[in-house]
C-alpha cells in the first residue's frame, strides 16, 4: 500500500492544530489534519466553552437569588431547569465546533481525516486504512482526566470533566474529589444549580499552587455558598451505598455519600497510543512529549504542541504553541516557549486572575521585593456591584522595579489581570503602573493606587 504524500501532517484538531493548518495551507502547503473524535479539542467540546457557558448560567441563578439585595423583587422562588442549561451549553459548544469544521473545509489543500493516528515510522502515520507521509509532523493530541487507582474506584460510577458534559440530570449531592481549578469551578457551579456539594482534597489546602492567602480566600468563597470542604484527606476510597456512592476519607470522619462523584485529580497526556516509540519520539516519565524551547521533539521534523508537551495546560498556552511554531517555520521569527509569562484564571465567582510569580516563589528566589495589597471591600466598583469577596496583590522587585507577579481575586479579576500582564511583557517598571491614569469606576483603577503603596515583602 502506497502512502499519500503531504507537506505536513497535524495529529489533533485542537487549539494549536487547526490554526496551524490554516497558516500552513495559506503558505501553499498540503496538510493532512487528523482528528479521532471532535474538532476543537478539549476547549470547544469539554473544557472552556461549555463549562464557562454553564458558569454563566450558574451566575444568573446566583444573582437571581440575591435580587432582593439590589432592591429587585421576584414573584416566586428561583428555579433551575438543568435540561435547558445543558441545551444552551450544547448549542454554544456545537456552534463553535461547527464553525471550526466550516473553516477547515474551506482550507485549500487541507484534508481532514477522521480516526486515530499511529506512527509507522518517523515520517509516516496510519489512520484506519490510510497511510500518510510527510516531512513535517505536528502533535496536538491533548490530554484527558487522570483516574488514579484508588480503592473501590472500579466498583462505582464516576464522572470526569468530559463525562460531566453529558450529564442530563442535576445531582442531588455531588461529591468532588480534588481541590484544584477544574474541580472548584464544577463545585460552585452545581451548588448554584441547587445540588448539595462536597469537595474532598488530599492536600492541606485548596489550589495548592496559589499563595496561602489566595487559597484561604477561595475556600471562604465556596464555604459561604454552602459547599462542604475537606482538606488533608487521606485514604480516599469508594463504595456503593444504596443508590448512592460513599466516599470515605480520613479515619474518624463520616463518609460523604453522594448521588454522583466527580474525579478531578489532574490530567494525563494523550500520548500512550500514538506509536511514538516507532517514530523514536522521546517522552518523560509522565508521558509528556519532550520538546525544546521551540517545541521541537527529539526527532527532526516532529513538533509537539498543546497539553501533550507538558509546557502548559490551557487553551492559551496551546494557541501560543501554535504561534511559536508558525513564527519559526514561516516568519523567520525565533519565538520561544521561555518568552512567555505564566498566566491563567480560575473561573469560580469571583474569578481569580494570575500572572507571573506567586509571593511564595518570590520569597524562595531570595530577591528583595515589594508587595501591595487591597481587599475588594475597599474597591468602589466591587462595592457598587455588591461583590466584595477577594483582594488584589502586586509583587515587584525592590531593586529594579520589575513587576514580578499579580493575583486578582474579585469581580473582573480574569480581565483586570491583563493590565499587569501586558506591562510585564513590555518590561515596564512598577513606576509606570503607579503613574498611569485608569478609568473610574473600575476594579482596575485601584492597581495604580496599590503600586503607589508598596511595602517591603516580609
Annotated active-site positions, please? 440
- DSSP assignments along 33-96, one per residue: EEESS-TTHHHHHTSHHHHHHHHHHHHHHHHHHTGGGGT---SS-----HHHHHHHHHHHHHHH
- Grouping H, G, I as helix, E, B as strand and the rest as coil, residue 395 is strand
Residue 333 has a CB neighbour count (10 Å cut-off) of: 11
Distance CA 153, CA 173 (A): 18
Task: Record the cell numbers describing residue 219, joined without a space.
Answer: 475556600
Helices vs strands, H then E, count in the chain: 13, 24
Peptide bond before residue 350 is cis, with ω within 30 degrees of 0? yes
Where do the H-state alpha helices sit in 68-211? 82-105, 181-193
Q: Dihedral through CA 110, CA 115, CA 118, CA 122, nearest 10?
A: -10
DSSP 243: T
Residue 58 has a CB neighbour count (10 Å cut-off) of: 22
Phi, psi (5° rounding) for residue 213? -70, -35
Amino acid at each position: 500500500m502506497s502512502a499519500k504524500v503531504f507537506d505536513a501532517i497535524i495529529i489533533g484538531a485542537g487549539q494549536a492544530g487547526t490554526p496551524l493548518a490554516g497558516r500552513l495551507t495559506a503558505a501553499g502547503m498540503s496538510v493532512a489534519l487528523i482528528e479521532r473524535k471532535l474538532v476543537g479539542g478539549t476547549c470547544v467540546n469539554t473544557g472552556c466553552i461549555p463549562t464557562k457557558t454553564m458558569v454563566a448560567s450558574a451566575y444568573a441563578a446566583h444573582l437571581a437569588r440575591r435580587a432582593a439585595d439590589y432592591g429587585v423583587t421576584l414573584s416566586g422562588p428561583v428555579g433551575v431547569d438543568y435540561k435547558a442549561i445543558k441545551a444552551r451549553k450544547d448549542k454554544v459548544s456545537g456552534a463553535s465546533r461547527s464553525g471550526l469544521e466550516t473553516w477547515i473545509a474551506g482550507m485549500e489543500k487541507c484534508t481532514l481525516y477522521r480516526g486515530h493516528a499511529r506512527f509507522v515510522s518517523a515520517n509516516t502515520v496510519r489512520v484506519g486504512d490510510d497511510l500518510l507521509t510527510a516531512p513535517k509532523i505536528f502533535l496536538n493530541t491533548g490530554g484527558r482526566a487522570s483516574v488514579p487507582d484508588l480503592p473501590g474506584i472500579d466498583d462505582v460510577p464516576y464522572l470526569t470533566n468530559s463525562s460531566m458534559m453529558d450529564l442530563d440530570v442535576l445531582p442531588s449531592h455531588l461529591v468532588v474529589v480534588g481541590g484544584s481549578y477544574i474541580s472548584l469551578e464544577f463545585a460552585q457551579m452545581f451548588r448554584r444549580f441547587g445540588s448539595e456539594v462536597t469537595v474532598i482534597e488530599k492536600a492541606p489546602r485548596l489550589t495548592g499552587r496559589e499563595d496561602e492567602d489566595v487559597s484561604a480566600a477561595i475556600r471562604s468563597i465556596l464555604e459561604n455558598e454552602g459547599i462542604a470542604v475537606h482538606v488533608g484527606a487521606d485514604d480516599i476510597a469508594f463504595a456503593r451505598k444504596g443508590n448512592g456512592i460513599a466516599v470515605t476519607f480520613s479515619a474518624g470522619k463520616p463518609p460523604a455519600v453522594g448521588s454522583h462523584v466527580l474525579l478531578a485529580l489532574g490530567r494525563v497526556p494523550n500520548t500512550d497510543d500514538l506509536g511514538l516509540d516507532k517514530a523514536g519520539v522521546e517522552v518523560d516519565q509522565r508521558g509528556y512529549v519532550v520538546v525544546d524551547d521551540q517545541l521541537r521533539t527529539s526527532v527532526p521534523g516532529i513538533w509537539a504542541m498543546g497539553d501533550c508537551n507538558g509546557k502548559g495546560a490551557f487553551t492559551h498556552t496551546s494557541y501560543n504553541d501554535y504561534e511559536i511554531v508558525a513564527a519559526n517555520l514561516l516568519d523567520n521569527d525565533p519565538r520561544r516557549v521561555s518568552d512567555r509569562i505564566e498566566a491563567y484564571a480560575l473561573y469560580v465567582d469571583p474569578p481569580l486572575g494570575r500572572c507571573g510569580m506567586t509571593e511564595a516563589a518570590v520569597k524562595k528566589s531570595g530577591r528583595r521585593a515589594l508587595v501591595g495589597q487591597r481587599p475588594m471591600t475597599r474597591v468602589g466598583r466591587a462595592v457598587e456591584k455588591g461583590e466584595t469577596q477577594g483582594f488584589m496583590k502586586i509583587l515587584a522587585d525592590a531593586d529594579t522595579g520589575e513587576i514580578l507577579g499579580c493575583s486578582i481575586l474579585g469581580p473582573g479579576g480574569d480581565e483586570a489581570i491583563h493590565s499587569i500582564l501586558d506591562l510585564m511583557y513590555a518590561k515596564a517598571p512598577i513606576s509606570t503602573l503607579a503613574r498611569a491614569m485608569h478609568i473610574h469606576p473600575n476594579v482596575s483603577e485601584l492597581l495604580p493606587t496599590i503600586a503607589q503603596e508598596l511595602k517591603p515583602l516580609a
